[in-house]
Amino acid sequence: MHILGIDVGASGIKGAVVDVANGKLSGERFRVPTPQPSTPQAMAGAFAEIVEYFNYKGPIGCGFPSIVKNGVAKSASNIDKSWIDTDIQQVFGKASGCPVFATNDADAAGVAEMHHGLGVGENGLVLLITIGTGLGSALFYKGQLIPNTELGHVLWKHGKPAEAWCSSGARSKLKISRSEWADRFNEYLNHLELLFSPDLFILGGGESKFFEQYKHQLKTNARVVPAKLLNNAGIIGAASYASDKAQSGK
């Protein structure tokens, strides 16, 4: 089954058709910049542009950068605040003319990585952290997702969420080097380790591409690996989510 997965981010919206049986992209990716301000109306236009590009009809999976409950956005850290309590599925469904199934972006990436990436066969506690404009998290125990964990929002020592201190977005905004960022990120991982004692950390999002440059600075008891699906995990996981939902009819 081939399903369009769309990963909505604070800086870019990326889509690709995914063969959900093997978790591989069936073709190229298409990306549009996230409109600013990122209001529901403006983002709906960008979402529709991606669907039109692929000339696609059918269920669409959407990874969205907020808490998502029953398809409704329940937070908005790096997107326009007017998203709070907005029905993502309705807004994007209307714009695209297709049924849309929305889930948290990091949860989507995590599910993809557990099914088709480095999480395969991992039966303990796995914590995937996506490093992008914000920090996203997906927590698994024995392969089961505990959704909407939002660990980028643990209150950090400066009184703000951790993502304001050690996301990729924070690195650019605060103009710190990757090495300084990696020390910060190491401290953050150590804090998560204290709280959750994971067996494995998987790092996703844009920053995971540079893992080789900073891996020596990450010192945790748990293994730390970059996501095998790298930045495509969100697209693949969103497509799988839609496939499951469309088939179960729920």
Token pair, residue 210, equals 């540079």
Token pair, residue 147, equals 């959704």
Residue 216 CB, nearest approach to ligand BGC (Å) = 25
- Residue 12 or 58 with smaller CB distance to ligand BGC: 12
Q: How far apart are CA 84 and CA 135, in angstroms?
A: 19
Q: Which helix (H) or strand (E) holds 198?
A: none
Q: How far apart are CA 116 and CA 70, in angstroms?
A: 25
Determine contact, residues 145/170, Cβ cutoff 8 Å: no
Contacting residues for 75 by C-beta, under 8 A, at least 6 apart: 66, 67, 84, 150
Q: Point out which span in 63-71, 185-193, 211-219, 241-249 binds ligand BGC (CB under 6 A).
A: 63-71
- Residue 77 as a binder of ligand BGC (CB under 6 A): the answer is yes
- Residue 3 or 67 with smaller CB distance to ligand BGC: 67
Q: Which amino acid is at 187?
A: E
- Residue 56 or 88 with smaller CB distance to ligand BGC: 88
Contacting residues for 94 by C-beta, under 8 A, at least 6 apart: 44
- Residue 88 as a binder of ligand BGC (CB under 6 A): the answer is no
Residue 41 CB, nearest approach to ligand BGC (Å) = 21
- Residue 104 as a binder of ligand BGC (CB under 6 A): the answer is yes
- Options 23, 40, 110, 136; binder of ligand BGC; rule CB under 6 A: 136
- Residue 231 as a binder of ligand BGC (CB under 6 A): the answer is no
Determine contact, residues 202/127, Cβ cutoff 8 Å: yes
Q: Point out which span in 65-73, 94-102, 119-127, 192-200 binds ligand BGC (CB under 6 A).
A: 65-73
Residue 78 CB, nearest approach to ligand BGC (Å) = 5
- Options 61, 152, 206, 226; binder of ligand BGC; rule CB under 6 A: 152
**C-alpha angle with apex 91: 138 to 250, nearest 5 degrees?**
60
- Residue 204 as a binder of ligand BGC (CB under 6 A): the answer is no
Residue 57 CB, nearest approach to ligand BGC (Å) = 28
Q: Which helix (H) or strand (E) holds 244?
A: helix 233-248
- Residue 71 as a binder of ligand BGC (CB under 6 A): the answer is no
- Residue 86 as a binder of ligand BGC (CB under 6 A): the answer is no
Q: How far apart are CA 228 and CA 224, in angstroms?
A: 12
Determine contact, residues 215/182, Cβ cutoff 8 Å: no
- Residue 106 as a binder of ligand BGC (CB under 6 A): the answer is yes
Q: Which residues lie near ligand BGC (CB under 6 A)? A: 65-67, 75, 77-78, 104-106, 130, 132, 134, 136, 150, 152, 163
